[in-house]
Structure 1
């Protein structure tokens, strides 16, 4: 063998070994992270030691902590470390929190603008604390960068997890509509944000037209992606700062990249995250844990390949929290974050939760550090094949009939076949009649993110 062939063979062998090592490192990177987490607000007057002791007793090894100042973390971190709990700073980024009033007063020009031209500096969207910034402004980027840096420099802090890194919800989860007295069967201009003058200017420079001139801007996928990308730019700027300081970069985004891109202009599959905790709160969407399974399957396919997938669930004091964790872990998640540990109140549920965390961690360890998932997992986009959801719909119909007719007991239904009467974007509306009462209903399904993301029942 001549020298050239020996050199070529050596190079190929080195590349192959390097590639194998890199793939192995990526495949097992989740080992660095605790398996069970919680989000928690920290204030100086709480008994944080007691909370950490309870986390430890529940098998929770990580906390995303929301504290007002970097100084608060310097007090909290040693307490958490005493119980072997990792601490990530839980930071709001595009939506202001602890610094809200200061920035409103000093920089009203930094705030996001909706399709009607109204700025959040002097407009309310849903709630008063929704004060989102415009991501394209260099001054906003520098402000966020400096803030993240001040937290990343905290000694002993394990990572930073960003939240509210998005625009205002152009569409709220369906179960929240009654709270605000709204129906969002499509994108409406008052909740459609991202129309700051500088956003429009940059878009025109890159694409040659004003998105406001479209007959229906919600159908303009180029304009939608442009706004998603501006949020991604800031997320990856933050990731650079976090990684420069040797910390872990995490985020708590909406349920899936596709769904969040539609609902809040948040395409988080493109973010440079080490770990992601998508907030798959099924109570806000379909009200069935099958939503968690569907989202997790989708997330495993569409996340950044270098990101460890976890799942954020809305906890409650019932066995449903166990079902929710199963739906996530069996379908691709490698860990769980609960919102929050304070929801686990009864001794029985706490005991079951601890038994679950012990068993799950042992199973992951036995399987080489990877929690085993179902090999046959698939998303079922047909709501008529989901018995749990169809049962919930029928119960809602019974409740409405009982209330309207002032019945003492739940009525027996005799429902006509579902008739599709309207289809728009992600919305499918059906008409159905209860033959016993003669009452007619619209049953509407929503498919944000190309999966069943909500449903609604309305008497007509």
Structure 2
């Protein structure tokens, strides 16, 4: 009898032990997970806008299916601290959107003309800007300019409640404009033109010569110098990787707005984002800019997803909505979902689009 009782006790012990182990296993793996497919919106939070306007907009986003908002506060951490809680109250993720290499009107940078990129034709972004007046590009090769950017990133990363710092304009000026924009500037770009080929600033030229033993200004055809091209790709990567370390030090992620897919970004703006340390990229697959249809949205998204295989980086496709009707928006979202992307980000949502977005989830 005692023997049978002993067996029963041992059996009960084993059952309880196995059940407890199962519970512990579940508890260990029961961590927050990313949304299956995330909806984002870029939000230009203008200075001087009343709090009530921000609150109204964030509520509209939340009510219509937006999960995350990218807030442009012109790298003002104090302003972000003020309005971020309004978005968080509506259940939105907050991402701190910053103009990174392109720093228009940066009062600190403008005190240092040597911080700016210079074109092959000798024009500085400090006072002679390519394409548009707000193109004021800092040189990632200038140590003080680079540190200034990292300081701005750190300020935003310290703001409570922010999910990520979101890098925009993290590249060189457009070597080639999207084909759909060329008529606007009355340009033909069949080669790398001197006015749009950067960075020939003293900081970059001297650094390159120190690394590779030649003055790039004396090279007959810089466009075919592979080391010169790689040097500039690496300079952008250095800024990104440094920002990643800063963001993660403060418990935040790093995200970035980038050109459609890595090979294209490399060609157009010296940006190879599949090599970066970054948690998520939002490629701006603005098909209207390239005279392309929705099949290209799917293709470019798929290409980016393939290029990121093996890396711990998500891809969320950016769409430019002003030129899309409601049906096109619905079909664009469908194309992104079919591509394997992790989400979709909307730039400039029109009023009629909100219902489309809401009912597409």
Q: State which of 70, 73, 78 in structure 2 corresponds to 1:71.
A: 78
Using a 3 Å threshold, how does the CA distance of structure 1 residues 101 and 73 change in structure 2: closer, same or farther?
closer
Q: What aligned pairs does 1:81-160 form with structure 2 within 5 A after superposition? A: 81-97=88-104, 99-104=105-110, 106-160=111-165
**Partner Cα distance (1:73, 1:32) in 2:** 24
Using a 3 Å threshold, how does the CA distance of structure 1 residues 33 and 245 change in structure 2: closer, same or farther?
farther
Deviation at 1:34, TM superposition (A): 6.8
SS in 1 for 2:360: helix
Deviation at 1:129, TM superposition (A): 0.6
Using a 3 Å threshold, how does the CA distance of structure 1 residues 34 and 291 change in structure 2: closer, same or farther?
closer
Q: Count residues with an aligned counterpart.
A: 326
SS in 2 for 1:79: helix
Q: Is the 8 Å Cα contact of residues 141 and 234 (structure 1) preserved in structure 2?
A: yes
**Partner Cα distance (2:332, 2:225) in 1:** 35
Q: State which of 315, 328, 338 in structure 2 corresponds to 1:330.
A: 338
**Partner Cα distance (1:198, 1:71) in 2:** 32
Using a 3 Å threshold, how does the CA distance of structure 1 residues 286 and 111 change in structure 2: closer, same or farther?
same
Q: Is the 8 Å Cα contact of residues 312 and 336 (structure 1) preserved in structure 2?
A: yes
Q: State which of 345, 348, 355 in structure 2 corresponds to 1:351.
A: 355
User: Does residue 1:56 correspond to 2:67, yes or no?
Assistant: no
Q: What aligned pairs does 1:38-57 form with structure 2 within 5 A after superposition? A: 38-43=41-46, 44-46=48-50, 47-57=53-63
User: Does residue 1:311 correspond to 2:317, yes or no?
Assistant: yes
Match of 1:234 in 2: 239
Q: State which of 36, 41, 46 in structure 1 corresponds to 2:39.
A: 36
Q: Deviations over 1:135-169 (max 9, x none)?
A: 01111121111111111111111211000111110
Match of 1:288 in 2: 293
Q: Deviations over 1:65-108 (max 9, x none)?
A: 001421222221221122100110000111103x524422x101
Q: State which of 140, 159, 168 in structure 2 corresponds to 1:163.
A: 168
**Partner Cα distance (1:305, 1:330) in 2:** 20
Match of 2:263 in 1: 258
Deviation at 1:30, TM superposition (A): 7.0
Q: Is the 8 Å Cα contact of residues 168 and 258 (structure 2) preserved in structure 1?
A: yes
Using a 3 Å threshold, how does the CA distance of structure 1 residues 230 and 164 change in structure 2: closer, same or farther?
same
Deviation at 1:33, TM superposition (A): 8.2
Match of 2:21 in 1: none
Calculate the TM-score normalised by the size of structure 1: 0.68
Long gaps (5+) in structure 1? 1-20, 358-460
Match of 1:340 in 2: 348
Using a 3 Å threshold, how does the CA distance of structure 1 residues 186 and 120 change in structure 2: closer, same or farther?
same
Runs (4 or more) in structure 1 with deviation over 6 Å come to: none
Calculate the TM-score normalised by the size of structure 2: 0.86
Q: Is the 8 Å Cα contact of residues 326 and 356 (structure 2) preserved in structure 1?
A: no
Deviation at 1:194, TM superposition (A): 1.2
**Partner Cα distance (2:284, 2:182) in 1:** 18
**Partner Cα distance (2:139, 2:355) in 1:** 45
Long gaps (5+) in structure 2? 1-24
**Partner Cα distance (2:33, 2:103) in 1:** 30
**Partner Cα distance (1:292, 1:111) in 2:** 34
User: Does residue 1:198 correspond to 2:206, yes or no?
Assistant: no
**Partner Cα distance (1:216, 1:320) in 2:** 44
Deviation at 1:192, TM superposition (A): 0.4
SS in 2 for 1:350: helix
Match of 2:184 in 1: 179
Using a 3 Å threshold, how does the CA distance of structure 1 residues 326 and 32 change in structure 2: closer, same or farther?
closer
Match of 2:3 in 1: none
Deviation at 1:223, TM superposition (A): 1.1
Deviation at 1:287, TM superposition (A): 2.6
Match of 2:10 in 1: none
Using a 3 Å threshold, how does the CA distance of structure 1 residues 30 and 286 change in structure 2: closer, same or farther?
farther
After TM superposition, the structure 1 stretch with the greater mean CA deviation from structure 2, 204-213 or 152-161, is 204-213
SS in 1 for 2:103: coil
Using a 3 Å threshold, how does the CA distance of structure 1 residues 34 and 293 change in structure 2: closer, same or farther?
closer
Q: State which of 243, 248, 259 in structure 2 corresponds to 1:243.
A: 248
